[in-house]
Amino acid sequence: MCGIIGCVGRGDATLDTLLGGLANLEYRGYDSAGVALANESVTVEKKAGELDALREAVAGQTLHGSVGIGHTRWSTHGPPTDANAHPHQDCTGDVAVVHNGIIENYQSLRDELAEAGHTFASDTDTEVVPHLIEDALADGADPEDAVRQALSRIEGSYAVAVVVAGVDAVFAAREDSPLVLGVSDGAYYLASDVPAFREHTDRVVYLEDGEFARIDADGFSVSSIDGTPHDVTIDTVDWDPEDTGKSGYDHFMLKEIHEQPRALRQCLQGRVDELGASVSLDLDVDIARVQFVACGTSYHAALYGAGLFRAAGIPAQAFYAHEYALDTPPIEDDLVVGVSQSGETADTLSALREARRRGARTLAVTNVVGSTMSRECDDTLYIRSGPEIGVAASKTFSAQLAALNLLALQTVGAGDEDLREVIAALRDLPGDVQAILDSTTAEEVAEEYVDSDGFFFIGRGANYPVALEGALKLKEISYEHAEGFAAGELKHGTLALVTADTPVFAVVTGNDEAARKTIGNVKEVEARDAPVVAVTDGKSDVARYADHVLEIPETHPRTAAVLANIQLQLVAYHVANALGRSIDKPRNLAKSVTVE
């Protein structure tokens, strides 16, 4: 969740490079920020709150250092205060550390260090690290070895970056938390995510779990924690730094909603042959049964994907990854598919590792090349959305649905559906999404209901995950109560909450039995004076029972769910915007959830 940036070789631009990197990582979610610059001494400045508070704190100061590290913290151990912000230092002030993750044995280490005379200034688990390094230095270890010794005593997850007074280098290591190096002529970088330094270089090295890196002005080296050298590959990032700008939109989320036609084209490009009625993915997997594991928005995509496989006659289930890892069902010869935008979701990684431990073949469905999931799984299907900066997923969810369609079509076919019709609908998706963006009345709907007591979302079949996602999106960015559920569950409890001040968003596509039953549920809430917003393709008569209609183009039932989701994303955005919420950085939330 937290953000890390480090650099060497930037000279007088070191501080600006750190602050710029932290600004590029704000989308990850944070509640404090800090920097440390090192030369013959280490200077630290850190502040609770937004990055602007840190900028004000360093303005007018003379902070020099040929190397530096920076951090944006999302609180776990201790509240967001200046003292708990990173970087953390040892008693001498010669060591500074930033850290993402959870040190599980920190309390026993802290007790041991305190008994030995160390003084702690924060509530964090991280602070034990600089004190462990301090002890190793006092025992005669050189700085690099002191960092290695400290890391060897840590249990848990971490991405760590360290600077030491008098050493023109940054030391870093990772275990269950992402860390990537940036390589350019005369300067080197490290970060928790590529956008932190993408404006400076497109050449990257993705560190693996258990790897240790040193960057200095002469280059970089990668090894195991015990010092065994590792050979690494330098990859090239294929997206432009301008892709992470707002491009004139008020918010990243709105920009990314409007980028969905392009994201879908990228997802489908080169993978669909309409003339040959075939799908071609760089995958060769046999599927008898499939288990999906995911969290949050990606879990909703997994529910949708599981439905596609069941429709083709393949047993399929979607599990919350955090529950799956605790109580793993029988796997036998199932394919276990992890769905995660970042490819770093800690709960999903744990579930996949448990599945692999039990002998399952694993597949990652992710957006991030070089992510931990993509490296650890047997196969990877990239959704190819491009970078997504807004914390609340938008274009990546749509691309996940498209990618899971492709996966189902290649591996198990279309079931009773006409394959050519499905492929034609997928081909038309980008244009259909653009038609919605050009004609939507979602803003008017949002203005009508912005002051409601609560919001309910209902759908059946493929529209059920869309209802869940619509509710999640609204609550994420507006902080208003919203609940999504299978339409048939309305009468089993939730109907008690329905009033004239609780609009119900009903996703009704097609005119089959599911649509007719959902219309029955719409009549139930209408009879209780609840306003109804129908999201529909017009094939049924749901509009006659609705107070407002959000239209989608006619399409195949599989892709209708994707289009309905676009309208609900826009409703969520406009409600949050009308309420003046922090849309790109919702409170308490983070883009990449790297703790369990």
Q: Report the catalytic residues.
A: 2, 591
CA separation for the pair 433, 398 (Å, rounded) = 10
CB 173 within 8 A of CB 225: yes
DSSP state of 542: G
Q: Which of 524, 536, 515, 464 is nearest to 496 (CA)?
A: 524
Residue with tokens 């969810």: 397
Q: Which of 189, 166, 187 is nearest to 179 (CA)?
A: 189
Q: Which of 196, 170, 188 is nearest to 2 (CA)?
A: 196
CA separation (Å) from 546 to 64, 435, 482, 485? 64, 22, 19, 19
User: Tokens in use for 385?
Assistant: 């959305």
**Please, which residues have CB within 8 angstroms of residue 376's CB and are 6 or more apart in sequence?**
349, 352, 353, 356, 362, 364
Helices 442-449 & 557-578 angle (0-180, nearest 10):
50
How would you write 146-188 as a 3-class SS string? HHHHHHHCCCECEEEEEEECCCCEEEEEEECCCCEEEEECCEE
User: Tokens in use for 475?
Assistant: 């609550």
CA separation for the pair 503, 572 (Å, rounded) = 13
On the question of a cis peptide bond just before residue 87, with omega within 30 degrees of 0, the verdict is yes
